[in-house]
Amino acid sequence: NKIRPFISLIMNIGLIVVLIFGAYRVANGYTKVGQILALITYFTLILNSTASLTRIFIRMSRAGASAGRIVEVLKLETTIVDGNKPLEINPSLPHLEFDNVTFSYHGKESHLENISFKLSRGQTLGIIGATGSGKTTIINLIMRFYDPQQGTIKVFGEDIKTLKRDELRRHIGLVLQNDSVFSDTIHENISFSRPHVDLNQVKLAKEIAQADFIDQMPEQYDHEIAQRGTNISGGQRQRLLIARAVASNPELLILDDASSALDYQTDKNLRFAIAKHLKNTTKIIVAQRISSIKDADLILVIDNGRIINQGTHDELAKSSEIYQILVKHQLGEGLA
Ligand SMILES: Nc1ncnc2c1ncn2[C@@H]1O[C@H](COP(=O)(O)OP(=O)(O)O)[C@@H](O)[C@H]1O
Ligand SMILES: [Mg+2]
């Protein structure tokens, strides 16, 4: 773009020179007007093509640099070995089981220590704990972004290391803390190019995710979202991401601090809608607010990579010191 004004300056100076020189020759009878006009036409044609060529070269060198970066990512070796078993849904076995899982990102201090819990199909797990306590790390292990150094994670009785990774992930609806939306329509952002997610499912997903704001948009589902969602609010972005996660009716729904920008009432409506429409889906809700997890079947209180207390809301409100402190701080903030 910086080159364009420079090129057009040269082009126009060239034209002026041709015109002045041509006018002089025509006036003296050396040349015919038609010859000058033909010269100018050819001159502009050639200059325009040269300008297009430079543009193509600039684009090619830019695309080359971008492609290089993409190839760099694609070339990264993964240490995770894919399994080959298909995922079989067996409601009589625990849907998700952590058995004494210990994990460290770099092999020095452990980021998770002896994590054990069990969830039946359709149950809700709440995870609460300070920033950096290891909540997202638990999610990373379920997704098999990393493998634990010790212990096993089982889905319907199978060690997830033996399962086909794509299948494991296909059954999970995941919203991570800083997930992003795409610069595409609302419909595409929710259906995410999954062929089996049709308009009816997109509409149901909207309803579950409390994303009513879509109805108020002039083009509704065809409304274009700007890159990184800069033309919608944080709460709207979160609801769009939740709609994307629930649209495929996943077996496992994981919301990692995914409703922090919602007000208490909307957050509550969201939880009710999820419970109503996704009865067979096992849910994992990571949250800072007690109110987001208080109805969970099991709540883990995580601190420094360990489960320091676990139980239901009522049990923890009696037995867990940290939980009691959280309840006290958040009392009155829509906890009732
Ligand atoms: N990719 C990573 N590489 C190395 N350390 C990490 C990585 N992700 C998280 N950690 C560390 O693991 C700990 C737990 O992080 P995380 O699970 O993200 O916490 P939470 O989600 O509870 O805020 C933190 O000390 C964090 O610095
Ligand atoms: Mg986190």
Q: What is the CA radius of gyration of the chain?
A: 30
Query: What is the C-alpha separation between 32 and 282, in angstroms, rounded?
Result: 86
At 248 the pLDDT is 86
C-alpha 102 – ligand 1 centre gap (Å): 14
- Share the mean pLDDT of the chain: 87
How far does residue 136's CA lie from ligand 1's centre (Å)?
7
Distance from the alpha carbon of residue 117 to the mean position of ligand 1, in angstroms: 20
- Token representation of residue 102: 């210990």
Question: What local confidence, expressed as pLDDT, does residue 214 receive?
Answer: 83
Cβ pair 87, 156 in contact under 8 A: yes
- CA-nearest residue, atom 12 of ligand 1: 111
Cα 256 from Cα 272, distance rounded (Å): 18
Position 333 scores a pLDDT of 60
pLDDT given at position 235:
86
Residue 331 tokens read as 């009392």
Give the C-alpha separation, 45 to 53, whole Å.
Answer: 12
From the CB of 145, is ligand 1 less than 6 Å away? no
3-state class (DSSP) for residue 324: helix
Nearest CA to ligand 1 atom 26: 132
For ligand 1, atom 9, name the residue with the nearest CA.
137
Closest by Cα among 147, 122, 106, 159 to 251: 122
201/252 Cα distance (integer angstroms): 17
Ligand nearest to the CA of 256: 2
Ligand 1, closest atom to CA 256? 21
Amino acid at site 314: D
Residue 334 CA to ligand 2 centre (angstroms)? 23
Rounded to whole angstroms, the Cα distance separating 66 from 87 reads 37
The ligand 1 atom at the shortest distance from the C-alpha of residue 129 is 22
The answer, yes or no, to whether any atom of ligand 1 lies below 6 A from the CB of 140, is no
Q: Ligand 1 mean position to 178 CA, how many Å?
A: 14
Strand 306-311's sheet: what is its strand order? 172-175, 252-256, 282-286, 124-129, 298-303, 306-311
Strand partners, 252: 172, 282
Query: Computed from CA positions of residues 32, 34, 36, 39, in that sequence, does the dihedral angle turn out positive or negative?
Result: negative
- Provide the 3-class DSSP secondary structure of residue 114: strand
Question: Quick one: pLDDT at residue 2?
Answer: 60
Q: For the chain, which residues score pLDDT lower than 70?
A: 1-3, 229, 331-336
pLDDT in the model for residue 3: 63
The structural domains of the chain, with segments of one domain joined by +, span 3-75, 96-330
**What would the DSSP string read from start to end of 166-184?**
HHHHHTEEEE-TT----SS
Contacting residues for 188 by C-beta, under 8 A, at least 6 apart: 182
Superfamily holding 96-330: P-loop containing nucleotide triphosphate hydrolases (3.40.50.300)
Q: Among 105, 143, 178, 304, name the best residue to mutate to test ligand 1's pocket (greatest count of ligand atoms within 8 A of Cβ).
A: 105
Task: Evaluate whether 189 touches 229 at the Cβ level (below 8 Å).
Answer: no
CA of 137 to the centre of ligand 1 (A): 6
Angle between helices 234-246 and 264-277 (to 10 degrees): 10
Which residue, by CA, sits nearest to atom 16 of ligand 1?
Answer: 134
Ligand 1 in reach of 229 Cβ (< 6 A): no
Residue 137 near ligand 1, beta carbon < 6 Å: yes
Q: Of all atoms in ligand 1, which is nearest to the CA of residue 130?
A: 22
Per-residue CA distances from 217 to 214, 242, 291 (Å): 5, 18, 30
First vs last C-alpha separation in the chain? 59
| CA–centroid distance, residue 188 to ligand 2 (Å) | 27
